[in-house]
Amino acid sequence: MQEKLLRLPSISVVIPARNEASNLPYVLPHIPSFVDEVILVDGDSIDNTVVVAQLLLPTIRIVKQEGKGKGNAIRAGVAASTGDIIILLDADGSADPNEIPRFVEVLMAGNDFAKGSRFKKGGGSHDITLLRRAGNYGLSKLVNLLFRTHFSDLCYGYNALWKHCFDYVEIDSDGFEVETLINIRIHQAGFKIAEVPSIEYERIHGVRI
């Protein structure tokens, strides 16, 4: 793997964050060293999110979110990114940055979109409730039926893709539904999708919304 990483395209990690100062120490130090650029999109945090981020990772780029919502933050982060590969990572500690090489390997194997899945063999969740699991299952079934897809997990935001995909996929949703929207539009654009087993952990500090 190390030899492969020496020949990697440039990689940007985009992290939407709002009041995540307490969680960033569990995220930023674990981002692999081969990542070229980390962009934190700050959504009007009233804690020390930006200061903590800069202390933990002096090279981090801070983008001020002009609008509201996760979709808006992702759009801002993607627009600011310079990498050939973009990895979307949550700031609350629920997604493990140590899984990044797995996503990159899937892209390097010829796929356009590496879709994180908690329900693929090898994946899992320490945080999902029965209600959320049922909702995700129902949504996945509906989308798979309507769009002839084979998604196992539509409500999980840990994903990676080649930046050129965004030339054909528009992000025009501001809320959390952006994760499902991106998946569907990537499929509609004809890109090659591969699901990647991923473990979701509980949010370390704060309350999931």
Q: What is the pLDDT of residue 131?
A: 67
Residue 31 has pLDDT above 90, yes or no: yes
Domain 2-199, CATH:
3.90.550.10
Q: What is the mean pLDDT of residues 39-56?
A: 96
Q: What is the pLDDT of residue 165?
A: 96
How many Å apart are CA 110 and CA 133, to the nearest integer? 30
CA-to-CA dists, residue 17 to 1, 10, 83, 143, 189, angstroms: 30, 23, 20, 28, 29
Q: Domain ranges for the chain, please list them.
A: 2-199
Residue 98 has pLDDT above 90, yes or no: yes
Q: What is the mean pLDDT of residues 11-19?
A: 97
For the chain, the average pLDDT equals: 89
Q: Which pTM value belongs to this model?
A: 0.87
Q: What is the pLDDT of residue 209?
A: 46
Q: What is the pLDDT of residue 6?
A: 52
Q: What is the pLDDT of residue 8?
A: 78
CA-to-CA dists, residue 90 to 39, 45, 94, 143, 150, angstroms: 12, 15, 7, 24, 24
* Other Cβ atoms within 10 Å of 133 Cβ, number: 14
DSSP H or E stretch at residue 199: strand 199-200
Residue 2 has pLDDT above 60, yes or no: no
Residue 104 has pLDDT above 80, yes or no: yes
- Token digits for 101? 């090489």
